Chains A and B, each alone.
Chain A
Amino acid sequence: MHIPDGFLDTKTWMALTAISGTAIAVSLKQTGKTLGEKQIPMMGITAAFIFAAQMLNFPIAGGTSGHFMGGVLAAILLGPFTAILIMTTVLIVQCLIFQDGGVTALGASIFNMGIIGAFVGYYIYVILNKIIKGSKSIFINAFIASWLSIILAAAACSVELSISGTVPLKTSLIAMTGVHAIIGIGEGLITIAVLSFIKKVRPDLLELRHE
């Protein structure tokens, strides 16, 4: 879902750059206030893992592939503000070093995958935790939240493309959310696989935010 240069018009990418810039500033401030000693290396590890996992495109139907995004996972591990910083780091490196996503669309990608994917996705997870309870609930809720985070990010991307006049809203919305509803299943599965791995080997890392 890395938008290349040329898909978004100037007003759209400038507005999204401003919104994402503000969100990054707020996230830096919030993270600075709450960051625990153990969370500092976890920021590096989580970002590195997300970058690596994003390289693994898995095939889905119809000659299409998808890859992990990691927004909800980062937010569950480190909180929604730190997750925005992690997604921003990954997206900037992908854009500036690997030509994955355009420079003008960087703000849009941070909006879609950081603000929507990680931040909004995290609060879906928090709300679900209040509704669905039980021993396995964090996995069920993490799956649903990360699945939805992909669909919502895809929907946001569609809206941006249509505001830019690149493609009509209805066309892109149906196509984008349709494809990403399938990719989102992969997102959900990887998220719970990582969470259950961490729970097994280092359960304390899931509690970092409550220390």
Chain B
Amino acid sequence: MKKLVITGLFIAIAIAVFLSPFASSHPDGLEKVAEDKNFLQAAEEKEIIKAPVPDYSMPGIKNKTIAGSVAGLIGTIIVFCIAYGIGIFLKKKATSKVKGQTSK
């Protein structure tokens, strides 16, 4: 189990840190369609929030490649912790419910 977590997380982090610099910077499918069909401007200046790490680039790091890799590393770890946490929380809740029922 421990080995699984370490290996799995290692693979995800390796992708986010070492492969993300090679990602294409072309617009994605939706963005390209919005450009071609003239509705990209609908999103201009419409952001509700200012995210701390916009566009997967860590602010304050001059080297864009490193800024992207750091952003990827942070994001991967945060996502891992939240999803793992949801799992632990749901399991705990389910176990306490079962215990509650048997004690009645």
Known pairs A64-B27, A67-B28, A86-B83; A40 contacts B76 (CB<8 A): no
Known pairs A53-B15, A93-B75; A175 contacts B33 (CB<8 A): yes
How close is B31's CB to chain A, nearest CB, in angstroms?
8
The interface residues of chain A lying within 8 Å CB-to-CB of B4 are 41-42, 45, 202, 205
A134 in the interface, Cβ–Cβ < 8 Å?
no
Contact B24 A57 (CB under 8 A): yes
The interface residues of chain B lying within 8 Å CB-to-CB of A193 are none
A179 in the interface, Cβ–Cβ < 8 Å?
yes
A64 to B31, CA, bound (A): 9
Inter-chain CB contacts under 8 Å: number: 214
Give the dominant DSSP class at A's interface. Answer: helix
Stretch at the interface among A1-9, A116-124, A125-133, A139-147: A1-9
The interface residues of chain A lying within 8 Å CB-to-CB of B1 are 38, 41
Q: Which of A3, A7, A35, A52 has the largest count of B CB atoms less than 10 A from its CB? A: A52
Contact B52 A97 (CB under 8 A): yes
Known pairs A41-B1, A51-B75, A65-B26; A99 contacts B91 (CB<8 A): no
Contact A98 B54 (CB under 8 A): yes
A92 to chain B: closest residue by CB:
B82
Contact A44 B9 (CB under 8 A): yes
Q: Which of B8, B78, B91 has the largest count of A CB atoms less than 10 A from its CB? A: B8
Contact A95 B51 (CB under 8 A): yes
Number of B interface residues in the complex (CB < 8 A) = 62
Contact B5 A44 (CB under 8 A): yes
The interface residues of chain B lying within 8 Å CB-to-CB of A47 are 79-80, 82-83
Known pairs A52-B15, A166-B39; A37 contacts B24 (CB<8 A): no
Known pairs A35-B87, A43-B83, A43-B86; A55 contacts B29 (CB<8 A): no
The interface residues of chain B lying within 8 Å CB-to-CB of A96 are 49, 51
B34 in the interface, Cβ–Cβ < 8 Å?
yes
Q: A55-B15, A93-B79, A93-B82 are in contact. List 6 more A-B contacts (CB 8 A).
A: A42-B8, A44-B83, A44-B87, A57-B25, A63-B32, A205-B4
Enumerate chain A interface residues (CB-CB to B < 8 A): 1-7, 28, 31-33, 35, 37-53, 55-59, 62-67, 85-86, 89-90, 93-100, 102-104, 154, 157, 161, 166-167, 171-172, 175-176, 179-180, 183, 202, 205
7 contacts between A and B (CB under 8 A): A6-B44, A31-B90, A33-B94, A41-B4, A45-B12, A102-B47, A171-B37
